[in-house]
Structure 1
Amino acid sequence: MKLYAVADLHLGHPANREAIHAIEARPNDWLILAGDVGETERHLDLAIDALQDKFRQLVWVPGNHELWAVASHGTPLKGEARYARFVQRCRERGVLTPEDDYPVIAVDGTLVRIVPMFLLYDYSFRPAHVALESAVAWAREAGLRCADESLLLATPHASRGDWCAARVAATGARLDGLDAAIPNILVNHWPLREELARLPRIPRFSIWCGTTRTQDWHTRFNARAVVSGHLHMPSSRVIDGVAFEEVSFGYPKQWRGRREPDAALRRIRV
């Protein structure tokens, strides 16, 4: 069995909704959807409708876009309630989430554990001279604004940073309790290490890209590979002997004329 991953399908864009139908069937393999499938439950359903029958199993983690307080109909859910609704929808459709048991499977003949995570960010990917309370203003000095500031609400937590701290603590405790003999494939929408969140054209966007709390997780939790998205900068890097795979598909202007939709799927080797 093989393991594939893709992030940032952004199915709010019609071209992307059409593109996912060009992804080839791999009925014996698993596919990770590493966040930012879209902004609504309908977008999630579109992805599941298009991809579930093509793969043995789908695994989903949320990105910031899923957590935006936007409504398909009625009053939009916020914060933890919104995340819980997406988890519920995945479970209704047979898709694994960060709230489910971590499956142990044989990938390329090697037993590994798939660990979908939801960890958020806390503005700690910033220079040492920039205070936490000044981080957003520091980014704005460079003309950067992130829609999360108005749309990604942390209810009932006091802030996204507090929500991030709670998610990191709970996930870390859960990982500490696992059998360390089985290596892990760690999956999170946001990169786990600060040096991976360097965007050459918009470097100050890093504050919305992760948390330094996870800087050593690839070694602390015996990872064979770490899968993420969010940056829209597909790449493969090896750090401390661990493969870090950024698997973004991206907006139409980022993939059209550059690669075919099926080529956006990254095979995760163990």
Structure 2
Amino acid sequence: MRIFALSDIHVDHDDNAKWLRGLSAADYRRDLLILAGDITHRQPLLTWCLNEFARRFAQVLFVPGNHDLWVMGEAPGKTSLQKFDEVVAIAADCGVSMRPYVGNGTLIAPLLGWYDYSFGEPGEDLLQRWSDFYACRWPPGFDPANVAAHFAAMNLSQVPAGVDRVMTFSHFLPRLDLVPRYVPAQHRILDPVLGSTRLDAQLRRLGSVAHVYGHSHINRKVRIDGVEYFNNAFGYPHEETITAKQLVCIGTL
């Protein structure tokens, strides 16, 4: 069984949805897909996308991204925590798993998360421009640190017996140095909303040797302190130089 990785497919964009429609329905029937978030905030499209992947792969593992929890255009008062519960239910109905998976001695564990400003404090410009601050809605008293802690508490804390190898995946970045040095300084305004150091602590506590992440829309494979990090974001249609727009095999079971 091959392991493929993909994130940030954003099927709200017609070109991205067209790519998925054209994906082979035969080539991956014995394989596993790690889908690391940011599909769409529109639930009918989310259902369609997860069903499309589920009928192409033997197993699909998924964590939602920030876009998947947007509540704009939905019922007033609905929170992004309620939206998360709905996303969990949709995934289950589609046969897509958000739970740890064990196969041939390998554990593949999803790590839920959010950004908690452990990568830096946001400036006023970011607070005004970042869509999550308008498109997400949290219960009273929830700030990003509370959100990150809430999701992190759901993650696996110990490795089951019989596991020889651990792999993990998240939507958000587990460490800031995953952002390449070539990224222009003007884009580093986004650093505070990219991820959380808590994620790296969790994956290392589990003994992960490989971690898939998304969110940054910058494809990368890099080894840091014994862990191989992979980002294979599909990205927006215009992002042709930083995304590959294809499935990437990261290993086998």
TM-score interval for Structure 1 and Structure 2 normalised by the shorter chain: 0.7 to 0.9
- C-alpha distance in 2 between matches for 1:76 and 1:65: 18
- C-alpha distance in 2 between matches for 1:88 and 1:169: 19
- C-alpha distance in 2 between matches for 1:251 and 1:198: 19
Superposition pairs of residues 142-153 of structure 1, within 5 angstroms: 145-153=129-137
Q: Which residue identity is paired with 2:115?
A: Y
Superposition pairs of residues 25-36 of structure 1, within 5 angstroms: 25-36=27-38
For the 8 Å contact 1:69–1:153, the answer to whether it is kept is yes
Do the aligned partners of residues 120 and 188 (structure 1) sit closer, same or farther apart at CA in structure 2, a change above 3 Å counting? same
TM-score, with structure 2 as normaliser: 0.88
- C-alpha distance in 2 between matches for 1:230 and 1:248: 8
- Report deviation, 1:40: 1.4
Note the alpha carbon deviations across 1:205-256, whole angstroms, 9 max, x for none: 0111111223333432111210011001011001122210011000001139
For the 8 Å contact 2:9–2:16, the answer to whether it is kept is yes
Aligned length: 247
2:123 corresponds to which of 112, 123, 136: 136
2:191 corresponds to which of 188, 206, 223: 206
- Report deviation, 1:195: 1.0
Do the aligned partners of residues 157 and 84 (structure 1) sit closer, same or farther apart at CA in structure 2, a change above 3 Å counting? farther
Do the aligned partners of residues 93 and 267 (structure 1) sit closer, same or farther apart at CA in structure 2, a change above 3 Å counting? same
- C-alpha distance in 1 between matches for 2:173 and 2:34: 15
Q: What secondary structure is seen at the aligned counterpart in 1 of 2:4?
A: strand
Specify the alignment match of 2:142 in structure 1: 158
Moved more, 26-35 or 176-185: 176-185
Specify the alignment match of 2:44 in structure 1: 42
- C-alpha distance in 2 between matches for 1:46 and 1:170: 26
**1:6 and 2:15 correspond:** no
For the 8 Å contact 2:40–2:67, the answer to whether it is kept is yes
- Report deviation, 1:58: 1.2
- C-alpha distance in 1 between matches for 2:59 and 2:85: 20
- C-alpha distance in 1 between matches for 2:180 and 2:125: 16
For the 8 Å contact 2:8–2:217, the answer to whether it is kept is yes
For the 8 Å contact 1:8–1:250, the answer to whether it is kept is yes
List gaps (5 residues or longer) in structure 2.
none
- Report deviation, 1:75: 4.9
Note the alpha carbon deviations across 1:69-95, whole angstroms, 9 max, x for none: 124x65573221100000001111111
- Calculate percent identity across the aligned residue pairs: 25
TM-score, with structure 1 as normaliser: 0.83
CA root-mean-square deviation: 2.4
**1:237 and 2:222 correspond:** yes
Q: Which residue identity is paired with 1:59?
A: L
- C-alpha distance in 2 between matches for 1:224 and 1:114: 10
**1:105 and 2:116 correspond:** no
- C-alpha distance in 2 between matches for 1:53 and 1:44: 14
Note the alpha carbon deviations across 1:98-117, whole angstroms, 9 max, x for none: xx3x12013xxxx2111112
Q: What secondary structure is seen at the aligned counterpart in 2 of 1:215?
A: helix
Do the aligned partners of residues 68 and 184 (structure 1) sit closer, same or farther apart at CA in structure 2, a change above 3 Å counting? same
Specify the alignment match of 2:152 in structure 1: 168
Do the aligned partners of residues 6 and 196 (structure 1) sit closer, same or farther apart at CA in structure 2, a change above 3 Å counting? same
For the 8 Å contact 1:6–1:266, the answer to whether it is kept is yes
Q: Which residue identity is paired with 2:116?
A: D
- C-alpha distance in 2 between matches for 1:91 and 1:62: 13
